Amino acid sequence: MEAASIKAGHAAHPEHDHHGPPEANRSSRVEPQLLGMLLFIISEIMVFGAFFTAYFFIRVVGEAEWPAAGTELPKLIAGVNTAILLSSSVTMHWALESAKSGNRFGLQAGIFTTMLLGATFLFIQINEYVHLGFAPQDHAQGSVFYGLTGLHGAHVFIGLTLLAFATARAFRGHFTPTEHRGVEVPGIYWHFVDAMWVIVYVTVYIV
Amino acid sequence: MLNPLRSEREAFRFLLYVVIVAAVVVALVLLARAIL
């Protein structure tokens, strides 16, 4: 009888159904997690802009030879590495589309493959550093080269960390066709990192 | 309008546009170098 009257009381006052701390205030229409990533990426674009300024300064204003005399950049290996990174964006896209359509295998395989391809890219990049034959302190070109590619490599590492969390969650079944923000946000970041590499590759290795 | 920061799908499309623009820039630079 008492339980029935409590239930009736809750039905009359739905605000009593909420337990725990009050809902956090939201000042934006964008979800907080997405907004955080957007602001982060915008600040990252500015950081890369500073490094590109140094690159264009020594090449255009300083009219320095690129790469420095007696050095050579491995265009072909970096090109293969670019293809690997672009492939990882395709698998990332596949993973999220699979999550949206409820294809759990596609999500798990896609996100895990993305992580493997990203790790391969980073491994090849480190291997390239070992065999380059010049160091950042040797000349301005070396400083800019290691600065730009190293900054990008650090971003790949951050992306891999985010992907590791997303992969673990995907294998635990945390994502559904309606709730997949944990894949969407790292996905946006991953594509940003890949787009930035295309610009770095074209300016540093090709042009 | 395409906003790569709105969703993963738009970010992926933006990446494809970046690849296409980069390929065009490289082609133009190589062409210019061959002519000049």
For the stretch A92-113, pLDDT in tens is 999 999 999 999 999 999 999 9
Output the pLDDT for position A89: 97
Report the percentage of chain B scoring pLDDT > 90. Answer: 72
How far, in Å, are A73, A80, A206 from residue A76 at the CA level? Answer: 9, 6, 10
Determine whether the interchain pair B15/A194 forms a contact, defined as Cβ–Cβ distance below 8 Å. yes
CATH code: domain A32-206 is: 1.20.120.80
Helix (H, G, I), strand (E, B) or coil at A120: helix
Q: In this structure, what token pair is assigned to residue B7?
A: 């969703």
Distance CA B31, CA B15 (A): 24
Q: From the list A38, A86, A183, which residue is nearest B5 (CB)?
A: A38
A206: nearest CA in chain B?
B26
Q: Report the SS3 class of residue A84.
A: helix
d(CA A163, CA A166): 5
Query: Mean pLDDT across chain A, nearest whole number?
Result: 89
* Chains A–B, number of C-beta pairs less than 8 Å apart: 54
Residues of A in contact with B18 (CB under 8 A): 195, 198-199
- The continuous run of DSSP H or E covering A3 comes out as helix A2-12
Residue of A nearest to B12 (CA): A191
| Interface residue ranges in chain B relative to chain A, Cβ cutoff 8 Å | 4-5, 7-9, 11-12, 14-15, 18-19, 22, 25-26, 29
For the stretch A181-202, pLDDT in tens is 899 999 999 999 999 999 999 9
- In chain A, what are the helix, strand and coil shares in percent, each to the nearest 5? 75, 0, 25
Judged against a pLDDT cut of 90, whether residue A165 lies above it is answered with yes
- Residue A59: list chain B partners with CB under 8 A: none
Alpha-carbon distance of A85 to A194, in angstroms, equals: 6
Tokens of A119: 């790790």
**Residue B6 buriedness (CB in 10 A; 0-12 / 13-18 / 19+):** middle
Predicted model pTM: 0.84
Distances (CA, A) of A16 to A3, A20, A22, A161, A191: 15, 11, 12, 40, 44
Check the CA dihedral A45-A48-A50-A53 and report its sign. negative
Structure tokens at A3: 């339980």
Average of per-residue pLDDT values in chain B:
90
The pLDDT tens digits for A129-145 are 999 989 999 999 999 99
Stretch A70-83: mean pLDDT: 94
Rounded mean pLDDT of A145-166?
A: 96
Tell whether the model's pLDDT for residue A16 goes beyond 70: no
ipTM greater than 0.85, yes or no?
Answer: yes
